[in-house]
A and B are shown apart, each in its own frame.
Chain A
Amino acid sequence: MIALLLRDLKLAFRAGGGFGLGLAFFLIVTVLVPFSVGPQSSLLATIAPGVLWLGALLACLLSLDRLLALDWEDGSLDLLATAPLPLESVVTIKALAHWITTGLPLVLAAPVLGVLLNLPGPGFGWLVVSLLIGTPALSVIGTFGAALTVGLKRGGLLLSLLVLPLYVPTLIFGAEVARRGATGMEVQTPLLMLAGITAATVALLPFASAAVLRINLR
């Protein structure tokens, strides 16, 4: 399992792995927002938590179609499926690798971009916490979507269509934590719900992803 994780990480970090792509996308989305809504700092401060969450979610989505497609193309996915490692573990490792290469950088970049959007002071900590707890769910749900569409020629757009409705609860609770944190309100309830979603998806969805992958590899 660790060998597979290291392999995936190496592939992602080396040239052509598309490691910085999500990060750059996140940066561009955030920079474009003030141009579209206007530079008033009070307005930006109001929408900053939501915009940062949405940007992180879209950046996550952008990198999903590479998650399994490359392994599918060169046939290593078939080898992984016949390996002694259960497919459920393979899928979990894939999601973990995706989170380390995409989710974690987004979490680290978010406070920097928060400065650009004039995020209120107390919001920074809660933004990082909510993203840290929420992005694993995004990776796991995304892996399910990638497993569903792995055999398709032009699966990218379909993948977004399938995954976006599944992202709704995570986005609602994640952005709610950040928003409440920024305005100094109580964050416990949405934070617990967000953590619950992440725990449940991490525990259950790999089984669905593996089942779907088996069907696709048939």
Chain B
Amino acid sequence: MKSGSSLELQNIRKDFGGFEVLKGIDLTFKKGEFVAIVGKSGCGKSTLLRLAAGLDEPTDGKVLVDGELLNGLNRSSRTMFQDGRLFPWKKILKNVGVGLKGDWKPKAMELLEQVGLADRAYEWPSVLSGGQRQRVALARALVNEPDILLLDEPLGALDALTRIEMQRLIEELWRKRDFTALLVTHDVEEAVTLADRVILIEEGKVVMNKEINLPRPRKKDNILYSSLAGQILNRVMQVEDQVEKKAIHA
């Protein structure tokens, strides 16, 4: 039996000043599942994540966590933001332990060890590189043992090599700790590398919901992997087969 929490979105709509960002979304995320949400920028994928976190309220529709209606902040979830959002005036260990009560230091230290930054515990965040900061942010999100981890383009600002490292780390921790993960990304390869299921959102609607049945850890030179990633990318970019052929012949 997988742990984590299930999450259900029922007919979600979200308006921002008369502009409809999400136009009726129905999605179910099973316990312990890793789901990636992809789409072009402005398609509403980040808004969806904010609704799941309880940071925004839907204009219409329901968010259910383990079958219960979400009201206010989603306490069983933790969000990892694109810009890390570490507190610059707190040492790294304290950043990880923020909001924890009681004897929090050993727990925070354990998480820092898991992300490989235990030796930097007593430094300021400003001395870390972008990738290291995101590792601290990941440790901070996981130290609370959330049932749902929400990842809002957490690797978007990192260079390609650091990104691959971080993907491995996220996958490893997800397999070890058994939480439900929702990853919003514009990187289709990243989605196929990490997710059990890839959801494509286009202009506020779900237009694709695809299971990825590849063995883990996934290798980028696997033919199935690259064909899946290619298919999804083409769908995102709305490249018709014919257009593609034309382009090749031209």
User: Are A and B part of the same complex?
Assistant: no
